[in-house]
Amino acid sequence: MKGDIDTILLDLGGVLIDVYYERTAQAFAALGFSDFDRLYSQAKQDHLFDGFETGALSPADFRDGVRQLLAPLTPSGGAQLEDAAIDNCWNAMLGTIPPSRMETVAELRRRYRVLLLSNTNAIHVPAFTEIIHRENGITDFKGRFDGAYYSCEIGLRKPDAPSYLHVLEQHGASPERTLFIDDSIQHVIGARAAGLRAEHLDTGKEDVTSLFARLLA
């Protein structure tokens, strides 16, 4: 495969930074809202979360939407949730990036154009930027790639074809010579439909570092 590609497009959450969706549900449950996991999951999101990921909703809009969603679960409880409490629960899912993964990115850049495309939002971006700075000593995370794109900034999200094509167009990259890696199968399917080479990272079986060792050997 390595002779057929010149560009690698990476997902962020689950591929580079560990993400623990259940921790956000647990954090809300600790505040008395035990049904949050029904409202949010990796594969199927409420329209509120989709809108936040494309930047159509501001952080204030998102927080108000969360209050409205949670209010019926505990009478008057949702309205009392402070902004900081919502942000803390929302960011609870964010883990860290093992150093070996950033070393893999640096190694790949010696041979390929390496791009990043993440479905993320305006509350998570500063949170994971701070985590990466604190845990990895990286002050310019985007600078570790040839191009890095967040859905909330470009107004496009996976698995919609325009999201992949927009990123590639910025770098003159062709879909058929681009290898896309994501841990969400629906995003992989979307990338293939857009003409990219795409591989699903099954995080229960391997790490992105071992995946590249296997694919690009």
Q: What is the pLDDT of residues 159-211, one digit of tens each?
A: 999 999 999 999 999 999 999 999 999 999 999 999 999 999 999 999 999 99
> What does the pLDDT read at residue 47?
81
Rounded to whole angstroms, the Cα distance separating 77 from 80 reads 5
Residues 116/85, Cβ–Cβ less than 8 Å: no
Rounded to whole angstroms, the Cα distance separating 162 from 141 reads 24
| Structural domains of the chain ordered from first start | 2-18+96-215 (3.40.50.1000), 21-91 (1.10.150)
> What does the pLDDT read at residue 36?
79
What are the tokens at 155? 């107004």
| Residue ranges of the chain with per-residue pLDDT less than 50 | 42-43
pTM as predicted: 0.93
> SS3 string of the chain?
CHHHCCEEEECCECCCECECHHHHHHHHHHCCCCCHHHHECCCCECHHHHHHHCCCCCHHHHHHHHHHHHHHHCCCHHHHCCHHHHHHHHHCCECCCCHHHHHHHHHHHCCCEEEEEECCCCCHHHHHHHHHHHHHCCCCCHHHCCEEEEHHHHCCCCCCHHHHHHHHHHCCCCHHHEEEEECCHHHHHHHHHCCCEEEECCCCCCCHHHHHHHHCC
